[in-house]
Amino acid sequence: MRITAKLIDATTTALNLLLKFEHPADAVLSTFFRDNKLLGQSERGFIAETAYAVLRRRRLLEHLLGKEANSRRLVLAALTRLSGVSQRQLEGAVGEKELKWVAELKSRQTGDLSPAEQADMPDWLTERLLAQMTPPELLALAQGLNQAAPLDLRVNPLKAGREAVLARFSGEGIAAEAGRLSPLCIRLKAKPALQKHPLYVDGSIEVQDEGSQLLGYLLAPRRGEMAADFCAGAGGKTLLLGALMRSTGRLYAFDVSDRRLARLKARVARSGLSNVHPVTIANENDIRIKRLAGKLDRVLVDAPCSGLGTLRRNPDLKWRQTPEGVAELARKQHDILKGAARLVKPGGRLVYATCSILPEENEAIVAGFLAAHPDFKQVSAQEILAQQGIALACGEALRLAPHTHGTDGFFAAVLERAV
């Protein structure tokens, strides 16, 4: 695609909006594209990829630019230092003066980088991660988080088989392969628009990260049981749980957001599930929760968290999140887990999960819960996955990361209530 002055200007304007960090990056770009309807699909892709490159590698670029670091220079630096755009490709898009600056920037040395600059993370986050891992381990994690995420799909076993879907994609020229971990995962080599694909329209496939799919296998709900997705959101994991139950029993989808559950209802209809019951609650102490106390076989708590394990998709989160925000989330996570545990009957299973990489949102929450609830014990995530034919050496708790597993960063602990 030809790079024009108009395209550089539009990318700079979009980045200006993103760097305010007032709203999630995907929402900011959606609004920007809605306000700029004349931009074509390839232009939108260019703007999004360049802006996200800046968000991912902001510390490195700002180190390189120093006092020159404004939105336009960050765009040009991302194009030339990260995306491999040549001076020749920029001719006509920028003036002679800027072309000379680009030539100088291409040969500029990075010099000494701090650990945070090497990892492209804020100082506070770098310090917390270095408290639990070595500098080489941090850099490996950061490199994984600073890559764009692949597009993972989950096959709906009520409607299709993975091999059949792979064969169909192959016949249609869509490059795809079976996921390494989840029995239902398909990973696409590119990112085709699938919203109008017949398999998506009829509910045979859903978009879901492979790591997220494993949470369903940790809960492992059975036919005819009573289960709950306690923080259901838009319901990706709810749909998986319903399918694993073969649309039998009763599956509650609890959430505090009417709007999110409204989106779930449309997805449930497409999926063919008849056992899902969306319920809007005020909080974890809602009367509708208390009425079900001690009655459920399985409860999944995919708790609201910092989202720092999803930086491949949401690189703005590392700049928008704060230590104070994490502390507030940890208090919520403690309360939510405590509230959800009331639902679990003797002998039942509770899975606590986040897409965070911070111990204070993960291990610390589980340890605090177990200390206060002696009737619960933690069981091996590795053994539960192995029982379902998923070979993953994770030990007691599930910890996933992009550089080791090719997934988003996830944590999950399996807790079972004594009989």
At residue 102, the pLDDT reads: 93
**Residues marked as catalytic:** 355
The whole-number average pLDDT for the span 13-37 is 97
CATH 3.40.50.150 domain residues, the chain: 210-417
Pairing assessment for the beta strands 226-229 and 250-255 based on DSSP bridges: parallel
Is residue 367 scored above 90 in pLDDT?
Answer: yes
Q: Within 10 A of 186 (CB to CB), how many other CB atoms are there? A: 21
Taken in order 304, 308, 311, 316, the sign of the CA dihedral is positive
Q: Within 10 A of 25 (CB to CB), how many other CB atoms are there? A: 23
The whole-number average pLDDT for the span 217-240 is 96
Is residue 45 scored above 90 in pLDDT?
Answer: yes
pTM, 2 dp: 0.95
At residue 234, the pLDDT reads: 86
Pick the CATH number of 151-207 from 3.40.50.1820, 3.40.50.920, 3.40.1390.10, 3.30.70.1170: 3.30.70.1170
The whole-number average pLDDT for the span 106-122 is 93
Is residue 107 scored above 90 in pLDDT?
Answer: no
CA dist 377 and 201 (Å) reads: 42
CA dist 385 and 112 (Å) reads: 44
Token output for 387: 């029982």
Is residue 217 scored above 90 in pLDDT?
Answer: yes
pLDDT digits (tens, 9 = 90+) for 51-93: 999 999 999 999 999 999 999 999 999 999 999 999 899 998 9
**CB of 295 within 8 A of CB of 226?**
yes
67-79 burial, b if ≥16 CB within 10 A, otherwise e? eeeebbbbbbbbb
Percent of the chain with pLDDT over 70: 100
CATH 3.30.70.1170 domain residues, the chain: 151-207
pLDDT digits (tens, 9 = 90+) for 144-184: 999 999 999 999 999 999 999 999 999 999 999 999 999 99
**Nearest 5 degrees, angle CA 82-CA 83-CA 87?**
100
CA dist 198 and 60 (Å) reads: 43
Token output for 41: 């699909």
DSSP-derived 3-state class of residue 191: coil
Is residue 193 scored above 90 in pLDDT?
Answer: no
pLDDT band at 110 (very low <50, low <70, confident <90, very high): confident
At residue 111, the pLDDT reads: 83
pLDDT digits (tens, 9 = 90+) for 274-314: 999 999 999 998 999 999 999 999 999 999 999 999 999 99
At residue 177, the pLDDT reads: 97
The pair phi, psi for residue 297, each rounded to 5°, is -80, -40
Q: Which of 353, 225, 357 is nearest to 296 (CA)?
A: 225
DSSP for 267-306, written as a single string: HHHHHT--SEEEEE-SSTT-HHHHTTTT-EEEEEEE----
Token output for 281: 């609650």
DSSP for 23-40, written as a single string: S-HHHHHHHHHHH-TT--
Is residue 239 scored above 90 in pLDDT?
Answer: yes
CA dist 65 and 61 (Å) reads: 6
**CB of 261 within 8 A of CB of 289?**
no
pLDDT digits (tens, 9 = 90+) for 3-22: 999 999 999 999 999 999 99
Pairing assessment for the beta strands 344-354 and 296-302 based on DSSP bridges: parallel
Q: Going by CATH, does the domain composed of 210-417 fall within 3.40.50.150?
A: yes
The whole-number average pLDDT for the span 397-403 is 97
Give every CB contact of residue 297 below 8 A, 6+ residues apart in sequence.
221, 222, 225, 226, 227, 345, 348, 349
The pair phi, psi for residue 278, each rounded to 5°, is -70, 135
Give every CB contact of residue 133 below 8 A, 6+ residues apart in sequence.
141
For residue 340, which amino acid is it?
A
CA atoms within 13 A on the CB side of 48: 19
Q: Which of 348, 353, 355, 357 is nearest to 377 (CA)?
A: 348
The whole-number average pLDDT for the span 117-142 is 97
